[in-house]
């Protein structure tokens, strides 16, 4: 995140009740996270298919370029597959935050309804 606070800290803040969203917003955000995760997984699969990059010819330079592209996609130091996996992990963390906030909203709403019900029944 731009201000130096990561999703892990937002999870902690949400757990402490310091983050709030209107009813249903957390659930809708979580649904968008699911859609983004699905898209990232599709891209990851496409990147895996690039692990066998060929078709540039048999010249040593062509073979070297094909090998480099394959490593960038799959097997290199920080391949596209790994970068996409890191993004998936972060989006899953975002989803967890949104679901936690939504659950807290529902719990607070139910507690308020229960308290009002107890007051009304005591009258």
Q: Are 73 and 48 in contact (CB under 8 A)?
A: yes
Q: Are 10 and 29 in contact (CB under 8 A)?
A: no
Is residue 83's pLDDT more than 90?
yes
What is the C-alpha separation between 61 and 42, in angstroms, rounded? 31
pTM: 0.75
27-54: pLDDT as tens digits:
999 999 999 999 999 999 999 988 887 7
95-120: pLDDT as tens digits:
988 888 888 877 776 777 777 777 77
Q: Are 90 and 7 in contact (CB under 8 A)?
A: yes
Instruction: Please tell me the predicted confidence (pLDDT) of residue 67.
Output: 85
Q: Which of 104, 97, 115 has the alpha carbon at shortest distance from 17?
A: 104
Does an H or E element contain 104, and which?
Answer: helix 80-121
User: Which of the two residues, 87 and 64, has the higher pLDDT score?
Assistant: 87
Q: What is the C-alpha radius of gyration for the chain, rounded to an integer number of angstroms?
A: 23
Instruction: Please tell me the predicted confidence (pLDDT) of residue 35.
Output: 98
Which residues, at least 6 apart from 100, have a Cβ–Cβ distance to it below 8 Å?
A: 11, 14, 15, 26
Instruction: Please tell me the predicted confidence (pLDDT) of residue 11.
Output: 72
Q: How confident is the model at residue 5 (pLDDT cuts 50, 70, 90)?
A: low
């Amino acid at each position: 995140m731009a201000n130096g606070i990561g999703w892990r800290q937002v999870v902690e803040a949400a757990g402490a009740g310091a983050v709030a969203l209107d009813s249903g917003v957390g659930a809708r955000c979580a649904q968008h996270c699911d859609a983004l995760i699905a898209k990232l997984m599709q891209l990851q699969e496409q990147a895996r298919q690039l692990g066998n990059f060929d078709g540039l010819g048999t010249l040593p330079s062509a073979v070297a370029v094909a090998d480099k592209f394959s490593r960038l996609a799959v097997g290199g130091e920080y391949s596209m597959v790994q970068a996409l996996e890191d993004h998936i992990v972060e989006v899953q963390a975002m989803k967890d935050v949104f679901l936690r906030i939504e659950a807290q909203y529902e719990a607070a709403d139910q507690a308020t309804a229960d308290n009002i019900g107890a007051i009304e029944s005591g009258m």
